[in-house]
Amino acid sequence: MRHAPLGIRPRRAALVLTAAALVLSGCGGQGPAEPRVSSGRGRPAVASSPSPAEKPASKPAPATAPSLEPSLPPGDPGLDAPSVPDPGVASDEHAGHEEGRRTVPLLAMLTAGTVRMVAGDGWERRRGGGDECVRPEGALGLLSMTYGGTDAGVVVETVATYRDDKAADSATAALAEAAAGCGWEAAPDPRLGSASVAATDGSRSMVAVSTEGVAVLLVGTGAVAKDPVRWGSLVDLALGTSCPAAPDGCH
């Protein structure tokens, strides 16, 4: 078997070692090659779009500003609509400007039937009556009625009209002083109308109430005047029926 000369073998071994060292050094300095993305026909490669997970979060749409215009229910004309009078309130063009009536209409008085509803059967009505000591003063119009005919007592109603509310209230308040001057004592105020007073002399009871330029006075004797329930109901009815005597009537 033929052998190579000994002088050549060490040189070949050195070359092999050198090549191996170069290969190892190249492998250690570079990582694996990244794959190329072909864009076709020699055009520059276009980077692929990021995945949904890598996309930046989109900014939320700005919230719509709330409307500053007030909303109105259907049929509401709004604040700029012209005002209309309240049907349940007396018009200002009549309030306080009408002259007081100079006569008291008969409709402004209690009826015998109304008294019967409160005080029982047997009551009749006739004109006149009353006590001069407790009688409204300064009235434009004045009308008195007497109700009696039973053992329950006698009731005298007086309705007086005045030029305005203030005059009617003053006349009503003055009845308290007039009654005191005649020996009557003050009684619990019924708290009705715009002014009211009450008094008693032991056997008779008196209540006076004014509203809308009209003063109503009741003087009673007997059981009906001593019963606070029936007497109070009669005062309420007398005040309610007096509205035809007001300057603008009932409203």
Q: How far apart are CA 216 and CA 168, in angstroms?
A: 10
Q: How far apart are CA 241 and CA 246, in angstroms?
A: 11
The average pLDDT across 102-110 equals 94
Instruction: Report whether pLDDT(27) > 90.
Output: no
CA-CA distances (angstroms) from residue 87 to 90, 92, 152, 180? 8, 12, 42, 43
Residue 199 near residue 208 (C-beta atoms within 8 A): no
Cβ within 8 Å of residue 120, ≥6 positions away: 150, 152
pLDDT interval class at 58 (50, 70, 90): low
Residue 225 near residue 206 (C-beta atoms within 8 A): no
Q: Output phi, psi for 180, to 5 deg.
A: -65, -35
Instruction: Report whether pLDDT(93) > 50.
Output: no
State the pTM of this model.
Answer: 0.61
Lowest mean pLDDT among 76-80, 152-156, 159-163: 76-80
CA angle, corner 66, sides to 62 and 67, nearest 5? 135
Q: What is the pLDDT of residues 188-241, one digit of tens each?
A: 888 899 999 999 998 999 999 999 999 999 999 999 999 999 999 999 999 999
Q: Output phi, psi for 224, to 5 deg.
A: -65, -35
